[in-house]
Amino acid sequence: MVHRQPVLDTSPEVSDEVRQTTCYMCACRCGINVHMKAGADGEKQVAYIEGNRDHPVNKGVLCAKGSAGIMQVNAPSRLRAPLKRVGPRGSGDFEEISWDEALEIATGWLKPLREEAPEKLAFFTGRDQSQSFTGWWAQQFGTPNYAAHGGFCSVNMATAGIYTMGGSFWEFGQPDWDQTKLLLLFGVAEDHDSNPIKMGLGKIKARGARVIGVNPVRTGYNAVADDWVGITPGTDGLFILSLVHELMKAGKIDLDYLARYTNAPCLVAEAPGTAQHGLLLRDEDGKALVIDRASGKLTPFDRPGVRPDLTASHDRDGVTYRPVLHLMADRYLSQEYAPETVAERCGIPAKRIRAVAAEIARVAFDEAIELDREWTDFRGETHKTMVGRPVSFHAMRGISAHANGFQTCRALHVLQILLGTVEVPGGFRFKPPYPKPSEIHPKPHCCVTPGAPLDGPHLGFVHGPEDLALKEDGSPARIDKAFTWENPMSAHGLMHMVISNAHAGDPYKIDTLFMYMANMAWNSSMNTKGVMEMLTDTDESGAYVIPRIIYSDAYSSEMVAYADLVLPDTTYLERHDCISLLDRPICEADAMADAIRWPVVEPDRDVRGFQSVLIDLGARLGLPGFIDEAGKAVYADYADYIVKHERKPGIGPLAGWRGDGTEVGRGAPNPEQMQRYIDNGGFFETHIPEAAAYYKPWNAAYQDWAVSMGLFDSAQPYLFQLYVEPLRHFQLAAEGHGDRQPPDHLRDRIKSTMDPLPIWYETDQQGNDGYTVNALTQRPMAMYHSWGSQNAWLRQLHGHNPLYMPTRLMREHGLRDGDWALVSSPHGEITVPVMEMAALNDNTVWTWNAIGKRKGAWALEEDAPEATRGFLLNHLIHELLPPKGDGLRWANSDPITGQAAWFDLKVRIEKVAPPAESRPSFPPIKSPVGTGPKGLRWKVGK
Amino acid sequence: MTELPDKTDRKMGLVIDLDTCVGCHACVISCKGWNTENYGAPLSDQSPYGADPSGTFLNRVHSYEVQPQDGLAQLVHFPKSCLHCEDAPCVTVCPTGASYKRREDGIVLVNESDCIGCGLCAWACPYGARELDAAEGVMKKCTLCVDRIYNENLPEEDRLPACVRTCPAGARHFGDLGDPDSAVSQLVAERGGFDLMPEQGTRPVNKYLPPRPKDRIAAAPQALEPVVEKATGFLGWLDRALDRLPGGGD
């Protein structure tokens, strides 16, 4: 047949209209263009989703999840109407009810609680990204029991960063992707944050710059890293401190930077046994003092012209005060941190540790860069250029979710600071509203008054025992025991402890558990089976131990079955939202930005955006701020709140187009604001002036700009805290000083773990005898975050999950791909399929998290591989450590922040005959939405 | 059987950087979305919520482990779609002329109205790049987004295949590989781009850029020299070093 070509229309119409909003397939929050086409009924439907080129986060690109959003808005697992439980809890037996009835039920439950004992409501909002609003609602209700999911995610990283340098990774800051020459990634699963890391890696690769991946598993970003350090889980802190040892020993630290911008020259009292020991020398105003190298005199750190001395000590009243850097030299130059000492423990040859240190030093100091940009620091000194040390770091949950995670994250932040790479060209850069030191964050509030709001925001940063959330009798004020001696710096709360504490009535009983977007009956809980039992457990009278459960979700998740009342949320394309500077914004290092969502399609079901439901509930309950003097609702819905609400005069949820539409950051509410966002593609962005772009914590131009934008009320320059004095306050209490004293059984732990300089310690191995293999999870990039169900397209990429095992362990156990293994921990056992993976730490196994689903959930058929071969590692992890025989139960979490120590898991592997299905297997739950269609041919246009 | 054109005016194709691809599947799903809504029949899915979901995809990412002789194991992500071969066996095998290679740009397409779904082309393709859509019964394959790259209804900057436009890591490049001066040809020359399975004689237009050598750090710099022999000497060094800073001692 001769060559012939048909005539082809190469310019078909792409769509009838493009609506621009913000993705919510994960927490990355990229800008998207939603192409709409008229469907068969003439109504506009979602036809295609792509990235928004103008958007600050993703600049046009979009990941697999984002592009699969069309399968989300049509997902068969979407809930359809409010549900009232009619069968036993956990059965999935519901009847659909009206919104009026649902809201009446909720009001009927909550109103008496507010009047009598507001703390009997525990309101925890999971993967909520509207925490400035949901937190305010809880505050107005008056319960101290509010938090989101940070406690089981990455609170160690965030908190260590805030205390150390006023910010951390991801939403707090980013590598200087355009100028960095060496990036070190620690413990980054294939997720946080999704597209910007991929874009940044692409930029680095295109420039020929290099990446070192430190991770037990070589997948994703670590697979493209130029060098891979397959570290043993839980030893990152030791590896980092060994790098610190090498760098200090070689003098490869930035002394000028340390003297000017950090508390390295601040003076620590050496007065063992006294209440002064380990505290910083301060003047009468509480300002930290340094020794001026020119005059040799004690001087406040921020005095113009001062040259803080890093070497001189000071003696006063028989007490010697030594610079922080002395203490660091004493500690980190010790052989304890020498590469030879740590090599075996970390699973990294000493030679390789040395090589990494040398490479970091070479790039930081031999390849330093200098921008011809003048700037003035907070002491009034003008610098002609901006010097940069082009080594950058990024880290996430991998190093964070250990019981030594806080100190490990501290170590990493300290390493960056010693190199002088934070807030300099080529290094790590903050994103507004960060940098923001811990002192200007709120402190936790927990004072309950029936019928009235809480005395302040729930979550915050403690600076000593006086800030703990304790009742007068010393017992925990919060149901999750956040901000107590067990975990004093739990800045994000402890969502993972709520259900077990509520079930145990410890520290007290609650009445209503109200949750949003948190699949606690499945992949968001440790000890999943135990949690299901706690949720369904009854007392002697036959009543549920946790009397009432309200849950809001957009989808038929496993948790739905355990609620008494289900408030169905919308999908992300059917709702209003704000991605606010008051919350977890989408700023870039060079720009302040925020964004909205708006309903690009209207729901075709009887569902409502959860935040609008809270507005309605707030009015029905008569919460202050939600009703006016006449008792009338202040806000019609969440969209109305977003535009009208003022947290402080002139400061609202959105920063763009305030006042008459020309004001930024500060300004009166503008009724046109939402439309202005829609017209601008769903986001607002304003750039940071060039002279303010780096050295932000100390840069007068940045500080002034931040005040003008409403980020602060006054300039807030500060020093990076290599030495975190608030930690020392807790140690002092444990040593017996002060009025507020820890219980005796916690004294030693507080003394040893709350060290004001980073340390590494082995996590509690109680009960781990015979369990020697590390076990980890990560989310696949195409499914990072699990709130979006098993989407029809995405589940074809990851429909089941094997346990990946290193070659050594496969051989040792006589296993081959497709065989099954019994995997046990001190807490439980699972039986799962295995697969060999060579690019893996040789004593670590891992799997994709949250692929395993329960039968009956997510509108999947009961024989879906997610339910028959998929599995959760969660069954092996307990929220408590095995009993030690001391009569106490110790939490499986970081002793400083309470972060869930998911990645401390140790297991034993045994080959078994293949079972019919992975184990444990649970009976199906009745689906409130049925199952999905047998086939899909999704074409909207004709 | 169907003839190929004697020559094509241009050789439009993809250059895929295996050094940069993180294996995120963004290209896979973006392709699925665009081509479900656009060119020809939608890409259907069978049992999308059931035991054995299987849908039509024009682009898939495979991951392979590589175990070097000495050195650490590596994982390579390998996206694969039609390579728009110059000697495309899928075209010559087509009994109806439905499969064809375009004269102007070399894109290999299926004219669905002439496709009888016999599957010969899928059998002939050594790369497994064609998929028979189970619902429509026609052969589907990468069109290089022929309905995007010339589409006057799209802004010029968006006239790219969907997979290239969406790739977060920038691992996919699009252009004329017949023009030695094009950006993609230059990239191939610089980075040693290669043909997939050249022994098959298909002369693929798409090229792959190889992963850069890995795990070389130990061979690179010398270990750091200590400034002091003993930890106790550190403060002395510190003092001297501070003196050398601008505005220091002397």
- pLDDT, one tens digit per residue, over A898-916 is 999 999 999 999 999 999 9
* SS3 at position A529: helix
Interchain CB distance below 8 Å, A219 and B75: yes
Q: How crowded is the C-beta side of A220, counted as CA atoms within 13 Å?
A: 30
Bridge partners (DSSP) listed for residue A549 = A513
Chain B interface includes A936 (CB < 8 A):
yes
Q: How far apart are CA A430 and CA A697, in angstroms?
A: 9
Between chain A and chain B, the number of residue pairs with CB atoms below 8 A apart is: 322
Chain B interface includes A58 (CB < 8 A):
yes
> Which A residues in the span 564-603 are in contact with B, Cβ-Cβ below 8 Å?
none
What is the distance in angstroms between the Cα of A365 and the nearest Cα belonging to chain B? 12
Contact A238, B93 (CB under 8 A): no
What type of residue is A704? D
Nearest CA in chain A to B27: A64
Query: Considering Cα of A646, then A648, then A651, then A653, what sign does the dihedral take?
Result: negative
Query: What ipTM goes with this model?
Result: 0.96
- pLDDT single digits (tens) B194-214: 999 999 999 999 999 999 999
Alpha-carbon distance values, A913 to A802, A812, A820 (Å): 16, 17, 7
pLDDT score of A153 more than 90: no
Tokens for A593, please give them: 């930005």
Antiparallel, parallel or unpaired: β B74-81 and B59-66: antiparallel
Mutate which of A9, A10, A52, A313 to test chain B, going by most B C-beta atoms within 10 A? A10
For residue A263, count other CB atoms closer than 10 A to its CB. 25
C-alpha triplet A44, A49, A53: angle, nearest 5°: 120
> Which A residues in the span 853-882 are in contact with B, Cβ-Cβ below 8 Å?
859-861, 863-865, 868
pLDDT score of A111 more than 70: yes
pLDDT score of B246 more than 70: no
Interchain CB distance below 8 Å, A781 and B22: yes
pLDDT band, residue B250 (cuts 50/70/90):
very low
Strand order in the sheet with A121-124: A94-96, A83-85, A565-568, A548-553, A512-516, A121-124, A146-147
Nearest CA in chain B to A64: B26
Q: How far apart are CA A6 and CA B2, in angstroms?
A: 14
Residues of B in contact with A50 (CB under 8 A): 30, 162, 165-166
Residues of B in contact with A47 (CB under 8 A): 37
Contact A784, A191 (CB under 8 A): yes
Chain B interface includes A227 (CB < 8 A):
yes
Q: E strands, B56-176, where? A: 59-66, 74-81, 99-101, 108-110, 131-132, 139-140, 172-176
Nearest CA in chain B to A208: B212
HEC string of B3-61? CCCCCCCCCEEEEEECCCCCCCCHHHHHHHHHHHHCCCCCCCEECCCCCCCEECCCEEE
Q: Percent of chain A beyond pLDDT 90?
A: 93
Residues of A in contact with B191 (CB under 8 A): none
pLDDT band, residue A720 (cuts 50/70/90):
very high
Closest-CA residue to B18 (of B144, B173, B134) = B173
Residue among B51, B75, B169 minimizing CB distance to A218: B75
A734-743: long-range contacts at Cβ-Cβ below 8 A with a sequence spacing of 24 or more?
A737/A275, A738/A275, A738/A465, A740/A465, A740/A466, A740/A468, A740/A470, A740/A474, A741/A465, A742/A465, A742/A485, A743/A485
State the pLDDT at residue A786. Answer: 66
- pLDDT single digits (tens) A531-558: 999 999 999 999 999 999 999 999 999 9
Interchain CB distance below 8 Å, A11 and B151: yes
Residue among A220, A247, A941 minimizing CB distance to B22: A220
Mutate which of B138, B153, B224, B244 to test chain A, going by most A C-beta atoms within 10 A? B224
- Region A691-708: what's the mean pLDDT? 97
Chain B interface includes A44 (CB < 8 A):
no
Q: How far apart are CA B77 and CA A803, in angstroms?
A: 20
- Region A243-272: what's the mean pLDDT? 97
Antiparallel, parallel or unpaired: β A820-824 and A906-912: antiparallel
Tokens for A625, please give them: 């701020």
- pLDDT single digits (tens) A190-229: 767 889 999 999 999 999 999 999 999 999 999 999 999 9
pLDDT score of B28 more than 70: yes
Interchain CB distance below 8 Å, A3 and B32: no
Q: What is the DSSP letter of A362?
A: I
Q: How far apart are CA A864 and CA A878, in angstroms?
A: 27
For residue A690, count other CB atoms closer than 10 A to its CB. 14
State the pLDDT at residue B247. Answer: 60
Antiparallel, parallel or unpaired: β A683-687 and A386-388: unpaired
State the pLDDT at residue A213. Answer: 97
Contact A910, A821 (CB under 8 A): yes
Closest-CA residue to A360 (of B229, B71, B220, B231) = B220
Antiparallel, parallel or unpaired: β A121-124 and B207-209: unpaired
What type of residue is B106? G
What is the distance in angstroms between the Cα of A389 and the nearest Cα belonging to chain B? 16
What is the distance in angstroms between the Cα of B127 and the nearest Cα belonging to chain A? 19
Residues 6+ apart with CB under 8 A from A413: A160, A161, A164, A165, A168, A422
Residues of A in contact with B212 (CB under 8 A): 226
pLDDT band, residue A40 (cuts 50/70/90):
confident
Q: How far apart are CA B34 and CA B27, in angstroms?
A: 11
Residues of A in contact with B136 (CB under 8 A): 937
pTM for the complete prediction? 0.97
State the pLDDT at residue A171. Answer: 86
Interchain CB distance below 8 Å, A2 and B74: no
Residues of B in contact with A339 (CB under 8 A): none
pLDDT score of A934 more than 50: yes
Antiparallel, parallel or unpaired: β A820-824 and B207-209: unpaired
Mutate which of B90, B217, B244 to test chain A, going by most A C-beta atoms within 10 A? B217
Q: How far apart are CA A320 and CA A215, in angstroms?
A: 42
Q: How far apart are CA A937 and CA B136, in angstroms?
A: 9
- Region B82-100: what's the mean pLDDT? 97
pLDDT band, residue B176 (cuts 50/70/90):
very high
pLDDT score of A2 more than 90: no
pLDDT band, residue A787 (cuts 50/70/90):
confident
What is the distance in angstroms between the Cα of B183 and the nearest Cα belonging to chain A? 13
- Region A770-783: what's the mean pLDDT? 94
Interchain CB distance below 8 Å, B221 and A793: no
Q: How far apart are CA A84 and CA A81, in angstroms?
A: 10
Q: How far apart are CA A203 and CA A201, in angstroms?
A: 5
Residues of A in contact with B158 (CB under 8 A): 53
- Region B232-248: what's the mean pLDDT? 81
State the pLDDT at residue B32. Answer: 98
What is the distance in angstroms between the Cα of B126 and the nearest Cα belonging to chain A? 22
pLDDT score of B220 more than 70: no
Residues of A in contact with B190 (CB under 8 A): none
> Which A residues in the span 747-786 are in contact with B, Cβ-Cβ below 8 Å?
781-782
Burial class (CB in 10 A: 0-12, 13-18, 19+), A273: exposed
Residues of A in contact with B101 (CB under 8 A): 3
Residues of B in contact with A351 (CB under 8 A): 218, 223
The answer to whether the peptide bond before residue A193 is cis (omega within 30 degrees of 0) is: yes
State the pLDDT at residue A917. Answer: 97
> Which A residues in the span 281-300 are in contact with B, Cβ-Cβ below 8 Å?
293
Residues of A in contact with B223 (CB under 8 A): 351, 354-355, 357-358
What is the distance in angstroms between the Cα of A6 and the nearest Cα belonging to chain B? 7
Residues 6+ apart with CB under 8 A from B130: B82, B90, B121, B122, B139, B140, B141
pLDDT band, residue A858 (cuts 50/70/90):
very high
Residues of A in contact with B150 (CB under 8 A): 10-11
- Region A305-317: what's the mean pLDDT? 94
- pLDDT single digits (tens) A597-644: 999 999 999 999 999 999 999 999 999 999 999 999 999 999 999 999
What is the distance in angstroms between the Cα of A549 and the nearest Cα belonging to chain B? 29
- pLDDT single digits (tens) A395-430: 998 999 999 999 999 999 999 999 999 999 999 999
- pLDDT, mean over chain A: 96
What is the distance in angstroms between the Cα of B200 and the nearest Cα belonging to chain A? 23
Closest-CA residue to A694 (of A315, A307, A428) = A428
Q: E strands, A760-870, where? A: 773-778, 803-805, 820-824, 829-836, 844-848
HEC string of A886-938? CCCCCECECCCCCCECHHHCEEEEEEECCCCCCECCCCCCCCCCCCCCCEECC
Residues of B in contact with A334 (CB under 8 A): 231
- pLDDT single digits (tens) A452-499: 999 999 999 999 999 999 999 999 999 999 999 999 999 999 999 999
Contact A840, A216 (CB under 8 A): yes
Residues of A in contact with B3 (CB under 8 A): 1-3
Q: How far apart are CA A117 and CA A94, in angstroms?
A: 29
